[in-house]
Amino acid sequence: MDIQSIKNRFGIIGNSPALNHALNTAVQVANTDLSVLIVGESGVGKEVFSMIIHALSPRKHNPFIAVNCGAIPEGTIDSELFGHEKGSFTGAVDSRKGYFETVNGGTIFLDEIGEMPLGTQARLLRVLETGEFIRVGSSKVQKTDVRVIAATNRDLLEYTQEGDFRQDLYYRLSTVPIRVPALRDRKEDIPLLFRKFAADFAERYKTLSVQLDKVAEQMVVNYYWPGNVRELKNIAEQISVLSTDKLVTAEVLPRFLPQRNTSKSLAVINTGSQTGLSSSSSSDFNTERDILYKLFFDLKKDMNDLKQMIFDVAHHQGYTPADPSANNNNNTLLPVYSDSEPASNTGYNANTPILLEVNDHHEEIEETLLLADREKEFITKALKKHKSRRRDAAAELGISERTLYRKIKEYDIQE
């Protein structure tokens, strides 16, 4: 099957050399049983490549399943993948087959493999090397014949150096790597994709298809597209629904292009200045919002680290302070003796205590609650903005999907 036929079958738009190379690699490896690692940013369409490989393989009539490793809680991912026995953990009222058992003979696509816990990575490595696995709570070794295709938007080799990903698993998965290019790396395809999405939405909403004038089209081409094809599709839908004029101009387009990162949006800003547009008004709010997101998520940790540092300094200078986590009803003044000779005009000598004021437990609770409220507020707004799409919300907040899932549970956020 030639590349154009594959593009037509799977709805792939574009003719850039990088995209064609990735498709050629997928076609060549499809007829084998080799493990494949698909690398690319979020929103580039990595899952489509896994479907192409499965559809062109001898396993095409057998099951195919896609699993997002980042969306499964760490405590249950082993059960999801390998199954469990009755009574193996709280809530295991029956035995259950895992994906590697139910997809026997087929293909399993492990998306966001970099989020997989180290313990699960060891189990996966055994499946890849021997085809064997053990259910949670069982001692019986079972066999499976499953082809594994993995995908990641992270640098797994860097993860291996940091100890967050097994090096042996990395080399076992990346037998054949496929790098899916980011949208900004195939700019010639952006106008084609926009026209295709605009036509699709016009058909869906029974309206005329929106079009871009030449300057607006160039702005779309030069935009950084951090969300890649997924983001372009969302923008095309917004314009199709909200634009009153079906010919979108350079004056109207900036309202639909969120500039999430100043450094990454320079292309849009530069294009705006060339056409006489001011982009500062549309970017200031989003840039400040991103800074606030990061600030509130880090402030809580920074405050705790600062308190601990103060207590460590006091201890080093000869005074053993009270436990900073202790319940104190009043502010405590801790004497700390200076080892250095004070200036003559201070009136102190080496034995004069320096009074170090420590916040009481009541203030610490108020501070913690305030930060928690802000954290919950930002998570709720991000989920609402992205219509409960956790991956997009996590990307905007600058945290992993697993961390977002944990925060949703912690704050009991209703999506």
Question: Tokens representing 274?
Answer: 């060339």
pTM above 0.85? no
Q: Tokens 């928690």 belong to which residue?
A: 372
Phi–psi pair at 314, nearest 5 degrees: -60, -45
Helix (H, G, I), strand (E, B) or coil at 82: helix
CB proximity list for 378: less than 8 A, separation 6 or greater: 292, 293, 296, 297, 397
Distance CA 50, CA 37 (A): 9
> Taking a C-beta distance cutoff of 8 angstroms, is the pair 82, 134 a contact?
yes
Size (the chain), residues: 415
Distance CA 191, CA 24 (A): 23
Helix (H, G, I), strand (E, B) or coil at 132: strand
pLDDT at residue 259, as a whole number: 60
Q: How many degrees, rounded to 5, is the angle at CA 69 between CA 65 and CA 73? A: 120
What topology is assigned to 184-277 in CATH? Helicase, Ruva Protein; domain 3 (1.10.8)
Maximum Cα–Cα distance for the chain, whole Å? 90
3-181 is classed in which CATH architecture?
3-Layer(aba) Sandwich (3.40)
DSSP bridge pairs for 308: none
pLDDT at residue 177, as a whole number: 95
CA end-to-end span of the chain, whole Å?
43
pLDDT at residue 263, as a whole number: 40
CB proximity list for 323: less than 8 A, separation 6 or greater: none
| DSSP 8-state class, residue 133 | E
Q: Where are the domains of the chain?
A: 3-181, 184-277, 285-411
> Taking a C-beta distance cutoff of 8 angstroms, is the pair 331, 360 a contact?
yes
Q: What pLDDT tens digit does each residue of the chain (415 aa) get?
A: 789 999 999 999 999 999 999 999 999 999 999 999 999 999 999 999 999 999 999 999 999 999 999 999 988 999 999 999 998 888 888 999 999 999 999 999 999 999 999 999 999 999 999 999 999 999 999 999 999 999 999 999 999 999 999 999 999 999 999 999 999 999 999 999 999 999 999 999 999 999 999 999 999 999 999 999 999 999 999 999 999 899 999 999 999 987 654 344 434 434 443 443 333 333 344 444 455 555 555 666 666 666 666 766 666 655 555 554 444 444 444 444 444 444 444 444 444 444 444 444 445 555 555 667 778 888 888 888 888 888 888 888 878 888 888 888 888 888 7
pLDDT at residue 148, as a whole number: 97
CB proximity list for 150: less than 8 A, separation 6 or greater: 35, 36, 37, 38, 109, 110, 111, 113, 173
pLDDT at residue 342, as a whole number: 44
How many Å separate Cα 375 from the centre of its chain?
17
